[in-house]
Structure 1
Amino acid sequence: MDALTELLDGPRARGAFMLRSTLAPPWSLRIQDEAPLTLLSMVRDEAWLIPDRGDPQRVGPGDMVVFRGPDAYTVSDDPATAPQIVIHPGQRCTTPDGTSLSEAMDLGVRAWGNDPDGPAVMLVGTYQMRGAVTRRLLAALPPMAVVRGDTWRSPLVDVLQEEIGKDEPGQDVVLDRLLDLLLIATLRAWFSRPDAAAPGWYRAHGDPVVGPAMRLLHDDLAHPWTVADLAARVGVSRAALAQRFAKLIGEPPMAYLTGVRLAQAADLLRETEATLDAVARRVGYGNAFALSTAFKRVHGVSPQEYRAGAATA
């Protein structure tokens, strides 16, 4: 398994918030829902994306946008249009002064907006639970990533647009999986762009020394790796590997391995019922105590607390 495959294997939407938004100008949405990740597909007309920090960007039909929370941002028909609608945590919708708009903006099954025949149409999918997206994925993304429609094409947008208005048994699961697939396709396209600000581990994937070393780590997290062992496997000196790895990725090999192991442990705790000892062994820790110590240092909670929080969410 390569680093990108492992990273993109992380998203697991559960009851994701999804809407087809139809809007007529003037319109402006202030998004401050604190969601960890939101995917926006511009289907028709144009919109302006205005982050609190950074330059506004205009998007048009076919463009895909990934917003990384919890930073707030505004989506509008024009940068000069003042926010008329505020989206709060839990997808609560109000005017700027707090008046509820939930009923006024409801246009049907997963349909929302100020005009059912409005020219602007967007598909929006929001991962509402932080545990649904790994910390490593969030850390690899900028606050706003835009993939232009003329640089990629995916049939998933059309499928999502067809499915989003249906109200059939199991529809939430269908939409969750479609959102996961669309996010993965979008991120793969974004990471592959020549001008993308891809993380160091992605750029290092093609390096003749660091690339094979990373694949060895990802293929066998349970192995008791040392820098010397890893260097011998890729045919370079220990010093050469350590220097090259740190230069390309931004951290030493063992620090990188620790991050990968703990991210994998978090996924296993969230997705499986494996015992803590079993999780520890699978990701290279000798016992549950060793994993718990490292996990709490990085995540701020114990593995048991993390699992309980994910189950409650």
Structure 2
Amino acid sequence: MDTLTGLLDGTRARGAFLLRTVVEPPFALRIQDQASLTLVTVVQGTAQIIRDAPVALQPGDVAVIRGPEPYTVADDPATPWQTIIQPGQVCTTVDGVPREHLGVRSWGDRVAGGTELLTGTYQLRSEVSRRMLEALPAMLVQPAAATDRTLVGLLLTEMAGTAPGQELVLDRLLDLLLVSVLRAWLASPSAGTRQQAQHDPIVGPALRLLHTAPEEPWTVAALAAKAGVSRSALARRFTDLVGEPPMAYLTGWRLALAADLLREPDATIGAVARRVGYGSAFALSAAFKRERGQSPQDYRRETAEGQGKHFTTYDPGVVVLDSAS
């Protein structure tokens, strides 16, 4: 499983929030919806996304923003906030007055003209996807020249209608747009060493073994033998490219898989333990509590009640892809 597959396998849109926004400058939208991942593309006009520093978007540019930290979309960084987007996509003025919609999946100051934005958000429920999300920068921007505008056009057309199966079609179109941007980023030099690890002749095979067979009793020596190198060579290369030793990576991967499996109401802790490589429910519980600060039972109860912990982002940064990427 590569980074993109792992991210999207649990991130696939299911009834995703999609909104067409039409605003007249000056405008400033404060986005604090706590979404795990957001796509924003400018259909017409221009906008700036302000997080740590403003990033300008031209027509056709697509920004992928990693949450849940808030950010601002405005015509100018100096424009004061006028609209607040809260969790659940509740849209109000800064004074808390609800903003009216223009129609189906559309909101703003006017029906047409001005600056037009298309926004889609993901709320991640998969721990595997959350782990993969760590590989992304805080925000990356794909310029219009490298963006498949056909997908954006199809999204806008579908959003304007009410045909049967519309939600499913919109979800898949949003997924395809996300895939197209992330594939371009993963193929670019800015993706970094963690992405290079997927294709490294030594580390790549070891990662695939850990991902596809986490239940096996892996050791560094066993992985090195499969890769055809020495134990020290694998450990050194793996740590350099992935950022952590093989066994530490395996522990994190197993516990992410376990967290997802614990969401299944009929799965016992013992069965989950065996599927992810722990010999007993006690062994899994000890590792889970040591790494995550709570027992599998507590984690299961929290997620069932809809009170799971927020994902903490890593390594903030902005990446702008070259048009040739």
TM-score, normalised with respect to structure 2:
0.84
Asked if the contact 1:3/1:201 (under 8 Å) is kept, the reply is no
Q: How far 1:8 moved relative to its partner?
A: 3.2
Preserved CA contact (<8 Å) 1:34 1:70: yes
Alpha-carbon RMSD across the aligned residues, in angstroms, is 2.4
Structure 2 letter corresponding to 1:73: Y
- Specify the alignment match of 2:17 in structure 1: 17
One-letter identity of the residue aligned with 2:32: Q
Instruction: Classify the secondary structure of the residue corresponding to 2:262.
Output: helix
Counting only pairs closer than 5 Å after superposition, residues 146-225 of structure 1 correspond to structure 2 as 146-153=141-148, 155-194=150-189, 196-198=190-192, 200-225=193-218
Q: How does 1:1-313 map to 2 (within 5 A)?
A: 1-51=1-51, 53=52, 55-96=53-94, 98-103=95-100, 106-128=101-123, 130-131=125-126, 134-153=129-148, 155-194=150-189, 196-198=190-192, 200-270=193-263, 273-313=266-306
Instruction: Give secondary structure in 1 for the equivalent of 2:285.
Output: helix
Q: Segments of 4+ in structure 1 off by > 6 A?
A: none
Preserved CA contact (<8 Å) 2:7 2:133: no
Measured in 1, the distance between the counterparts of 2:203 and 2:120 equals: 36
Q: Distance in 1 between matches of 2:281 and 2:164?
A: 40
Residue 133 of structure 1 deviates from its aligned partner by 7.6
1:49–1:112 distance in 2 versus 1, CA, 3 Å: same
Structure 1 148/299 Cα, relative in aligned 2: closer, same or farther at 3 Å? farther
The 8 Å contact of residues 43 and 117 in structure 2, kept in 1 or not, is answered as yes
User: How far apart are 1:145 and its partner, in Å?
Assistant: 1.5
> Unpaired segments of 5 or more residues in structure 2?
307-325
TM-score under structure 1 normalisation? 0.87
**2-structure distance, mates of 1:155, 1:3:** 25
Q: 1:14 to 1:213 in 2, by over 3 A?
A: same
- Return the alpha-carbon distance in structure 1 between the equivalents of residues 170 and 137 of structure 2: 25
TM-superposed deviation, 1:225 = 0.3
Query: How big is each residue's C-alpha offset from its partner over 1:211-247, in whole Å with a ceiling of 9 and x where there is no partner?
Result: 2221222221111100011111111111111111111
Verify the 8 A CA contact 2:14 2:168 in the aligned structure 1: yes
For residues 155 and 279 of structure 2, the distance between their equivalents in structure 1, rounded to whole angstroms, comes to: 44
Q: Is the 8 A contact 2:48 2:75 kept in 1?
A: yes
Corresponding residue for 2:318? none
- Count of matched residue pairs: 306
C-alpha distance in 2 between matches for 1:129 and 1:100? 29
Q: CA deviation at 1:61?
A: 2.0
SS of the residue aligned with 1:10? helix
1:50/1:73 contact within 8 Å kept? yes
| CA deviation after TM superposition for structure 1 residue 19, in Å | 0.6
Pick which of 276-285 and 127-136 moved more.
127-136
Unaligned residue ranges in structure 1 (runs of 5+): none
Q: Equivalent pairs: percent with the same residue?
A: 58
Which whole-Å CA distance do the structure 1 matches of 2:287 and 2:157 have between them? 45
Give the distance between the partners of 1:94 and 1:239, measured in 2 at CA.
57
**Offset at residue 110 of structure 1 (A):** 0.8
Structure 1 residue 191: Cα displacement: 1.9
Task: Answer yes or no: is the 8 Å Cα contact 1:131–1:270 preserved in 2.
Answer: no
